[in-house]
Structure 1
Amino acid sequence: MTKNAIRIGGASGYWGDSAMAVPQLLAGGSLDYLVFDYLAEITMSILARARVRDPEAGYATDFVTAALAPNLGAIAAQGVRVISNAGGVNPVACGAAVRALVEKAGLTLKVAVITGDDLLPCAAELAQGGLTEMFTDEAFPPVDRIASLNAYLGAFPIAAALDAGADIVITGRCVDSAVTLGACIHAFGWSREDYDRLASGSLAGHVLECGPQATGGNFTDWECVAARIAEIGYPIAEITPDGDFTVSKPAGTGGGVSVGTVSEQMLYEIGDPQDYALPDVSCDFSQVTIMPAGPDQVFVSGARGAPPPEKYKASLTWQDGWRAGLYLSFYGLDAARKAQSFADAAIARAGAILGKLNAPPFSETSTEILGNECQFGTFGQSRDAREVVLKLAAKHADAAGAGLLLREAAGLGLASPPGLSGFQGGRPKPSPVIRLFSCLCPRPMVDVRIELDGKSLDYAEPPLGNARAPNPVRPEPPAKPDTSSGSVRVPLIALAWGRSGDKGNHANIGIIARDPEFLPALWHGLSTDIVTERFAHFLEGPVERFYLPGSHAINFLLHDVLGGGGIASLRNDPQGKGYAQILLATPIEIPTLLAQRFNLTEAMA
């Protein structure tokens, strides 16, 4: 029997998220499901290294020890079902640990484990097939350097495990939103061809997947929620059979749910909003509307779907040398020039030693002086800042070479310009450079299997059919605003919210108009040329711009801007999390009458 609605709590956004989420959601959520997202490309490489050291490791242990162990009794008593990708690169071991926990607690919860995403045994076959990186066309990396290779599974295996009676479902690598979509498919009986509903369920999962980022975390208007940020509520989505959903949080918790918080999360880490491709559906979020529905509640509708891609996306991580870096501070007169002099000397010293050893030079060095003039355009502190932080880093083919920079930087401590300081906790150590390689693999190569308490379930992925996603019809952008009666310049933050994140070596910046009347000025004031100029210091590729009229938003995709991204990068912000904050300082020209009507005169640039 199909339910009228299901309530799903988003209890984890990454490996290391707070343990406060589960008891909070159980106490105030009236939930049907708890979903947990632990995995990112960096996490997969860390878990893969852990499994090499210990065959029983390789999963998110916090899921067992912090999320389930203290709360398993309440989960069972309330009949809440749990779905998690905590399996990482070893979902079987994670399932065994959870079953041991259930047995110790004297409970009868059924635990399902989904496997098939791990393609590491197929690495040589894929390499021989001439497979290249899907975004850069780079050659397949050396097989002996690969740390992990996983296909992004979809939601139908999760639904099948729930159909079979699983109370707890553990997967390896799946798309982040699949843990939510799987619950929807099970509860509502959605089919492979229910594309709009699948897209809506995926959007609900996308909103939940980063936990409190939907309830005030990382929010542009952070001061609105700062007073009780320590008690921030985790998000809840109440989803109906047609896919529309309401976002809320447990009563009495901190943070806040608003059009701004949920809109920011919708745009977080997406590229083309009309071609958000997942294993189960290709999503179009351009016409999604996000409306107030009560205190700390918003209603989301309007997602559209089309057939999914013919192939699975796979994520490969591989080691490409070593990196080393450290932070130091300089304060007092000429702090920035002193920091730059120190950095130049440390790199020169280490480079000279490499030369004497006939070793290759550093493959890349990075010097960032934080607190100095902002590196992105002209917005930031002045060059005469009296206190700065120096971030110094380098890459080398081997660990000893990378470590030379750390050694020589430490050795300059008594020979540096005056004003050197910093919190000391021992010299940092070199770490592997882990690069991401994204590719497409044939679906038949992925053998999805489901095991429920020792019994293998009979499962086959639903066929895709012959239909393919059409090319998106781009919405007509807004007309240029009329400034014939005069115009003024105000900072973008007075007109919009913003959120940014990473897509491999790319970054996206979502800009959402605070009021629909601001959108024409935003569209015409934020060209790709303007964004290119703001990020010229790091930008190596083009900038794309997309229009989302439903949510009064614009999404920018900046190609090749993160220095490799993740732990392949030497940047202070290798995932672009603060890029929106840079762009929000941009002055935007708006009609004077509009500024007066919205009392924006005090914000004039």
Structure 2
Amino acid sequence: NAGGVNPRGCRDALARAAAEAGVELSIGVVLGDDLMERADAIRDRGVTEMFSGVAFPDEIWSMNAYLGARPIATALDAGADIVITGRCADSAVALGPLMHEFGWKDEDWDKLSQGSLAGHLIECGPQGTGGNFTDWQDVSGWDDMGMPIVEVSEDGSFVMTKTADTGGLVSPGSAGEQMLYEIGDPRAYLLPDVICDWSGVTLEQIGPDRVRVMGGKGLGRTGSYKVSATYADGWRAVTTLTLAAIDAPAKAERVAEAILTRCRRIFRNKNLGDFRQVSVEVLGAEAAYGANARARTREVVLKIGVAHEERSALNIFAGEIAPMAISTAQGLTGFYAGRPKVQPVVRLFSFLQDKADTPVAVEVDGKDVPVTVATREVRLDPPATPPADSRDAGPDAVKVRLVELAWGRSGDKGDIANIGIMARKPDYLPYIRSALTEDAVKTYFAHLCNGPVERFDLPGSHALNFLLHESLGGGGIASVRIDPQGKGFAQMLLDIEIPVPAKLAENDG
């Protein structure tokens, strides 16, 4: 998917590089994801954003469908050595070659699900081989992390490993964390080629840095692609200042208040209106933890993020930062980034587009190759949900930190954060599940999460997945928070204390 918004341009550049190197390559290109030419027709249909329900923007910057694996397989079938795509599902980059190699059909649901899972585990590179792993002390070689490898069999089962003689760690924990990363409902994870049920997936250590992955099921396919459009929605600026001082957190809060108060006074005088969004976070004082913060510190970084309808208003904000060094708190320093840069707020607009109305095309060596994408929706009945066990710790309960009982990883989908929690031992899961209710997680993240919290079970990997709606301040580059993608959410939750039976805590140390 290196083609970005210009797959043909990427193909031409690659062809020139190959010619200069004296290498003959057959190059395929997948087209059709770019829907910008259809913007007016889509707007006229009355399309609304699939999560927020807002109307289609008057002007958009980009609009691309997440295509699937079949066009990639078609290009390989036609003899392409390399296939370049625009936007497609990350996992499709792996599933396409598997469909080509094994001749998998569009209705081989379980194989497509397993192939998609293989792609999901390797799509973030070393993040699946020990990068971002909870047990970071167990991972050596951060300076030379191994890239993930999946050895896939025709039946879809596979072994995950990594490049030899490199850093990293492939274990059920590290692979399991990556499986949980940025997914939604694990029993209905929607991808372009298949509806995946990964709730029963098992991960088994079969050797050093080798994990066997089995059990992914496919439950049909949707008749639509997810489309991501972007549009400009005002302006944003973020600044950071350092304080090394007595009462540093309180001073930082007051500095922020002074800056914002002064800016608002100037705005009123110029009829500019108020900030549309303000985020003040005192880093080092555990601002991200909200009511769960414990730290007392004498040095902090003050981060102020703001958004406004008018660029001129944020130019005023940018000019009011440096004067605070001589008019507010002693110990204020660290203007390392200089005056904050005013940038557009780029907001995401997601919706569904019928596959039948999406002009998917394939070219190999500049010639059209016919491609047939399955467009008919198929919904299979999911297997019965096994009963989930939530167990009270009993009268002799003791509290232990969740990180002693589980691994965790978090990520984002727009303004939704996901937190995957995987029990280190199956025996721990009932107590984790009993403590981590939707209400408990909502309360723990009350300072960040403005929407509902959903919980999903993955009994095969003795895991839970949580979705925290409206928890990222708009998400991605639309947010002015320090963590707009929820990268730290799992670490925060892993610090919560969980009641377990005293005997269990004693036996397991």
- Which of the five TM-score ranges fits, normalised by the shorter chain? over 0.9
Distance 1:212 1:344, change over 3 A: same
Partner of 2:484: 574
Separation in 1, partners of 2:263, 2:406: 46
Separation in 2, partners of 1:180, 1:91: 18
Within the candidate set 38, 41, 66, 1:125 is matched to 41
Contact 1:245 1:301 in 2 (8 A): yes
Separation in 2, partners of 1:371, 1:432: 28
1:406, distance to aligned residue in structure 2 (A): 1.6
Contact 2:219 2:382 in 1 (8 A): no
Within the candidate set 357, 374, 378, 1:445 is matched to 357
1:398, distance to aligned residue in structure 2 (A): 2.5
1:378, distance to aligned residue in structure 2 (A): 4.2
Separation in 2, partners of 1:246, 1:398: 53
1:462, distance to aligned residue in structure 2 (A): 3.2
Separation in 1, partners of 2:328, 2:477: 29
TM-score scaled to structure 1, two decimals? 0.82
Q: Amino acid of the residue matched to residue 498 of structure 1?
A: G
Within the candidate set 475, 496, 506, 1:586 is matched to 496
Separation in 1, partners of 2:84, 2:298: 52
Separation in 2, partners of 1:374, 1:340: 11
5+ unaligned residues in a row in structure 2: which ranges? none
Partner of 2:331: 419
Contact 2:221 2:378 in 1 (8 A): no
1:411, distance to aligned residue in structure 2 (A): 2.4
Separation in 1, partners of 2:412, 2:386: 25
Give per-residue Cα distances to partners, 1:345-382, cap 9 Å, x unaligned. Answer: 11111111111111122111111111114443543343
Distance 1:425 1:312, change over 3 A: closer
Contact 1:87 1:94 in 2 (8 A): yes
Residue 2 (structure 2) pairs with residue 92 (structure 1): no
Contact 1:340 1:369 in 2 (8 A): yes
Contact 1:181 1:205 in 2 (8 A): yes
Mapping for residues 331-342 of structure 1, pairs under 5 Å: 331-342=244-255
Residue 399 (structure 2) pairs with residue 483 (structure 1): no
Within the candidate set 447, 464, 472, 1:554 is matched to 464
**Aligned to 1:376, what secondary structure does the other structure show?**
helix
Give per-residue Cα distances to partners, 1:548-594, cap 9 Å, x unaligned. Answer: 00001000000010010001001100000000000001100001111
Contact 1:91 1:115 in 2 (8 A): yes
Separation in 1, partners of 2:334, 2:65: 43
Q: Amino acid of the residue matched to residue 259 of structure 1?
A: P
Distance 1:500 1:403, change over 3 A: same
**Aligned to 2:218, what secondary structure does the other structure show?**
strand
Q: Amino acid of the residue matched to residue 457 of structure 1?
A: V
Within the candidate set 182, 207, 222, 1:309 is matched to 222
Mapping for residues 143-162 of structure 1, pairs under 5 Å: 144=59, 146-162=60-76
1:519, distance to aligned residue in structure 2 (A): 0.6
**Aligned to 1:174, what secondary structure does the other structure show?**
coil
Contact 2:476 2:485 in 1 (8 A): yes
1:522, distance to aligned residue in structure 2 (A): 0.6
Q: Amino acid of the residue matched to residue 311 of structure 2?
A: A
Q: Amino acid of the residue matched to residue 135 of structure 1?
A: F
Partner of 1:296: 209
Distance 1:378 1:463, change over 3 A: closer
Give per-residue Cα distances to partners, 1:510-547, cap 9 Å, x unaligned. Answer: 00000111011111011111111111001110000011
Q: Amino acid of the residue matched to residue 193 of structure 1?
A: E
Separation in 2, partners of 1:419, 1:567: 31
Distance 1:350 1:381, change over 3 A: same
Separation in 2, partners of 1:436, 1:469: 31
Contact 2:241 2:302 in 1 (8 A): yes
5+ unaligned residues in a row in structure 1: which ranges? 1-84, 600-605
TM-score scaled to structure 2, two decimals? 0.98
**Aligned to 1:190, what secondary structure does the other structure show?**
coil
Give per-residue Cα distances to partners, 1:416-469, cap 9 Å, x unaligned. Answer: 2101111524323111101111101122221111111111112222353x6324
Contact 1:475 1:547 in 2 (8 A): no
Partner of 1:504: 414
1:189, distance to aligned residue in structure 2 (A): 0.4
Partner of 1:428: 340
Contact 1:282 1:469 in 2 (8 A): no
Contact 1:377 1:533 in 2 (8 A): no
Distance 1:284 1:399, change over 3 A: same
Mapping for residues 3-82 of structure 1, pairs under 5 Å: none
Give per-residue Cα distances to partners, 1:113-158, cap 9 Å, x unaligned. Answer: 111000011111111111111112111111x2x1110111000000
Q: Amino acid of the residue matched to residue 324 of structure 2?
A: L
Residue 85 (structure 2) pairs with residue 175 (structure 1): no
